[in-house]
Amino acid sequence: ILLISLVTVLIIGGLLILLASHYIVKPVKRLTGAAKEMAKGNLDFRIKHSKKDEIGELMDSFNHMACELQKIDKIRENFVSNVSHEIQSPITAIRGFTRAISDGIIPTENQKEYLEIIYQETLRLSKLSDHLLRLASLDSDNHPFYPARYRLDEQLRRMILVTEPLWTEKHLHIELDLQDCQVYVDQDLFEQVWQNLINNAIKYSDENGWIEVLLEDNTEAVRVHINNTGQAIPETDLPHIFERFYMVDKARSQSGGGNGLGLSIAKKIIELHKCKIDVTSNEEEGTCFTVTIPG
């Protein structure tokens, strides 16, 4: 009887081991093989299965992780491609014009004009470098963040005065409706937000147009509306304008010194403060950016 019991236990134990091997060991080996494929850079690899248990959930989680990594890798590729293009364009212009001046191809009386182009291209490179460094810092967990309470209406009024040479040159009419208002955010970072939004409003406004800056303060939130006349942003472009290097009118943006990073920086700063930015645009009412700061 003891011998029969022992044999029975061994048989049952063997069957359980085979069962465990089928349901646990093999899926784990498949997951290990998939992880090795991803380590080689094969982000297209997916695990096909029909399991509905915990092992199946684990495989689904692995496939989801692979999809997210593939998206991140695509973003990285696009980012590198865009940076390379944005750097290469001014370098090509600088190299070409300096060579032409050096070889005497450009007449002396025209050299000042081309030197001004070279100077503007160096400014464009400097601006691009500054924006990339700022984005990298904001993306990290180590960016300086010093929130404090201050008068937002005074900051907005000061930004309008700072940009006066730009909007007077285009004969723009500025309308301010600013309530006395205090907010608790990083003052320096939000100054970059207003600088980007107001500069964009000026850049894309038509001659003799108008810009309105409205500050609303209620118990729930503070809202700043920056509205400008001019060509509307196409509806198909609206969901993408905060993406890095995205430009609605690439030729116009680059001629004005843009690189498609200003709005990305503004949104990053706003999200860092748990705030919100929205945009509406149509031919009748113009373009309006609204920044909401919770009370």
Question: What are the extents of the domains in the chain?
Answer: 1-143, 147-294
Rounded to the nearest integer, the mean pLDDT of the chain is 84
CA dihedral 231, 237, 241, 244 (to 10 degrees): -130
147-294: CATH superfamily: Histidine kinase-like ATPase, C-terminal domain (3.30.565.10)
Buried/exposed code over 250-266 (b: 16+ C-beta within 10 A; e: otherwise):
eeebbeeebbbbbbbbb
Q: What is the pTM of this model?
A: 0.66
What dotted CATH number matches 1-143? Answer: 1.10.287.130
Checking if the pLDDT of 221 tops 80, the result is yes
Q: What is the pLDDT of residue 261?
A: 83
Q: What is the pLDDT of residue 24?
A: 67
Checking if the pLDDT of 208 tops 70, the result is yes
